Structure 1
């Protein structure tokens, strides 16, 4: 039985966009009709359309505010017109607007992609926890990407029909990169012209330049790494709201620290191929996608101990254990030790590749998400006569 699946997503870049595009591609390959409601801009709309989604314009900001009521009404009209079998809401903002718009009238799956209350403190954190506890009644399934994300939600008092489906990556698109591929990538990226030694160890941090991803902590750690591993380079790959602030911090680093702000890229594979180690010093996550992509490329990763990190790492790699978030000293010690041992990096990269192929192939993720959809459908017959989306706000 083929389904009509409506995804609603905000943000339209970063890991959320990559997850949605992969789902669209897999669901279209399975024969389903797939629609996507999202704001213009970013990479999501164009890539999802190329993967086979029907795009529905849903202008919406990243954060709640005075415009939220109008965003809810627009999304309600979209759902009423599309009449989907399943509504899949991605991230906090779409989860807010979608659940207010539909309020259980359509089979609804909410996927937080990291809890909103992990990003804030004080009164705002308390308010977002209260909202999530209240809104859980309007989701037939609450889909987490890690057991830790689920546990954090339960600890916050959210009572939900929990489902856990780990993130996956296209292991054919993100193929293993050997030593020859590393040399070729470094030459193609022009590392020498950018001030990095193409023959020296290279750490790559791939992610949106924002507080969540912790690049500021990595820059605090980097002078210690540079002292311990002379000539080592660091590339911060990505764009985002903290770009100017991080650029100023790079300029203020002491001595020959060899740090490159590479900017945003449409295809991270050359940077992953160029790396010896991929580091993601996040403050919070659900299960980050960038480390999975790095491991698919046969690159070892260094992560902070946030939700999804331990679950994404190869259990047989004793050197893969994460470091505490916001601990620049621990991060520097571990990163320096890994960059100083290229043979260990190569060995750990091979373990990482095998692990991702075995546990995080996106085809498995798509199948598991479809099973979640099937699980919510029997209690709500498809195509029922007189279907109506709630009118009130």
Structure 2
């Protein structure tokens, strides 16, 4: 009808359908539907599509593999078909595979946001790294905005020669999933442990360390396992639980020392966070991991490796004790042992962590900032985009 303005539409593309990237996409899709946008999502079958559909998005099947391969041409063609059929106002690409296939399909014809969720060139070495760098530098000309989840992620891109327009929006989490009464934090820890069969034989005051993440090279659980004997030398009854599944599961299980339990993939990790004295994430690279934010929302302190986003997600003054170098099992084990030796201090750190996440990492704030970015891109004249393509 004349005079009726169509709602802006956005097409999200994501190859990951589980884990942190999928959670970010799910929360963003839900917020955009509440804001009245027409939201589409292309992704492989899995939990992401189910949750996005429940939030009101139109979900389109986009079978995509992890990393470039013989299926890339088909992936690009499917995206081109979606763009022709849906004609979205914006294209929002999440992580490396969507960033590759989506920009090849669109080539700047649609205002495009690329959100790396950790740079692809950090995950590889040698020739693969050189090719990934070359691609990211070239693809920036087809990108209306490079959206990073931390200042450190942005700096790594710039230092690698990726030139473009940048916006940083720190990751946020849905605090409604992590209700917490800090006056009963100790009771929630006891109740959570009682609900977990893996903790049945754990003495009430024995330290429990939890690591949540995909079992993979990126998340560094192999380094954590190598560090664990240093911890149990000081805390003989301590238990480490790895929550998650992934390609490294078999190798990690074979290498696990005493005092380690594998919980596998779970539908909700909140109970594990609540049961823990300390949550650890020994990643080799990140953009800004969600697991530490979720743990802090549950009032639990974290120990992280000094990768992109880690310093920025910690409360002020916590980095000195709660940040260690990546790929350093001895330093990681020593830091874990020292933190577990001060249970009262851990409780205080958890209270500060909850306040920090509530103030700085509410997903509503993150979604609002992405909405501002969309409006800015939609106001940009078409001439501006043609000049970008001519670079």
Which TM-score band applies after superposition, normalised by the shorter structure? over 0.9
Where structure 2 has 5 or more consecutive residues not aligned to the other structure, the ranges are 383-391
* Structure 2 counterpart of 1:199, from 199, 202, 205: 205
Aligned-pair CA distance for 1:150: 0.5
* Structure 2 counterpart of 1:183, from 184, 190, 200: 190
Is 1:231 the counterpart of 2:237? The answer is yes
User: SS of the counterpart of 1:314?
Assistant: coil
Is 1:83 the counterpart of 2:87? The answer is yes
Higher alpha-carbon deviation: 318-327 or 287-296 = 318-327
User: SS of the counterpart of 2:379?
Assistant: coil
User: SS of the counterpart of 2:189?
Assistant: helix
Higher alpha-carbon deviation: 49-58 or 356-365 = 49-58
1:159-170 to 2 correspondences below 5 Å:
159-170=163-174
* Count of residues in correspondence between the two structures: 374
Q: Judge conservation of contact 1:203–1:277 (CA < 8 Å) in 2.
A: yes
1:216-365 to 2 correspondences below 5 Å:
216-250=222-256, 253=257, 257-317=258-318, 319-365=320-366
Higher alpha-carbon deviation: 363-372 or 49-58 = 49-58
Deviations 1:107-139 (A, max 9, x none): 110000000000011111111000000000111
The aligned counterpart of 1:108 is: 112
Higher alpha-carbon deviation: 314-323 or 349-358 = 314-323
User: SS of the counterpart of 2:210?
Assistant: strand
CA distance in 2, matches of 1:216, 1:192: 22
Is 1:19 the counterpart of 2:20? The answer is no
**Under a length normalisation based on structure 1, what TM-score does the superposition of the two structures give?**
0.93
CA distance in 2, matches of 1:69, 1:197: 55
CA distance in 2, matches of 1:78, 1:297: 40
Q: Judge conservation of contact 2:11–2:90 (CA < 8 Å) in 1.
A: yes
User: SS of the counterpart of 2:171?
Assistant: coil
Higher alpha-carbon deviation: 60-69 or 177-186 = 177-186
Q: 1:32 to 1:329 in 2, by over 3 A?
A: same
The aligned counterpart of 1:156 is: 160
Aligned-pair CA distance for 1:21: 0.4
**Under a length normalisation based on structure 2, what TM-score does the superposition of the two structures give?**
0.93
The aligned counterpart of 2:385 is: none
Q: Judge conservation of contact 1:310–1:321 (CA < 8 Å) in 2.
A: no
Deviations 1:233-255 (A, max 9, x none): 100000111111111112xx2xx
Q: 1:95 to 1:31 in 2, by over 3 A?
A: same
Aligned-pair CA distance for 1:19: 0.3
Aligned-pair CA distance for 1:319: 4.8
Q: 1:308 to 1:192 in 2, by over 3 A?
A: closer
CA distance in 2, matches of 1:264, 1:350: 27
CA distance in 1, matches of 2:100, 2:160: 17
* Structure 1 counterpart of 2:61, from 43, 57, 71: 57
Q: Judge conservation of contact 1:116–1:128 (CA < 8 Å) in 2.
A: yes
Where structure 1 has 5 or more consecutive residues not aligned to the other structure, the ranges are 382-393
User: SS of the counterpart of 1:210?
Assistant: coil
Aligned-pair CA distance for 1:75: 0.9
CA distance in 1, matches of 2:319, 2:161: 34
CA distance in 2, matches of 1:197, 1:263: 22
Aligned-pair CA distance for 1:197: 3.6
CA distance in 2, matches of 1:196, 1:57: 45
Q: Judge conservation of contact 2:302–2:322 (CA < 8 Å) in 1.
A: no
CA distance in 1, matches of 2:324, 2:180: 25
User: SS of the counterpart of 2:146?
Assistant: strand
Q: 1:207 to 1:5 in 2, by over 3 A?
A: same
Higher alpha-carbon deviation: 167-176 or 149-158 = 167-176
Aligned-pair CA distance for 1:20: 0.2
CA distance in 2, matches of 1:50, 1:206: 25
Q: Judge conservation of contact 2:307–2:326 (CA < 8 Å) in 1.
A: yes
The aligned counterpart of 1:129 is: 133
User: SS of the counterpart of 2:344?
Assistant: helix
Deviations 1:33-90 (A, max 9, x none): 111000113x211111122211101111111011101110011101211111111000
Q: Judge conservation of contact 1:210–1:240 (CA < 8 Å) in 2.
A: yes
CA distance in 1, matches of 2:254, 2:319: 36
The aligned counterpart of 1:389 is: none
CA distance in 1, matches of 2:294, 2:199: 25
Aligned-pair CA distance for 1:320: 4.4
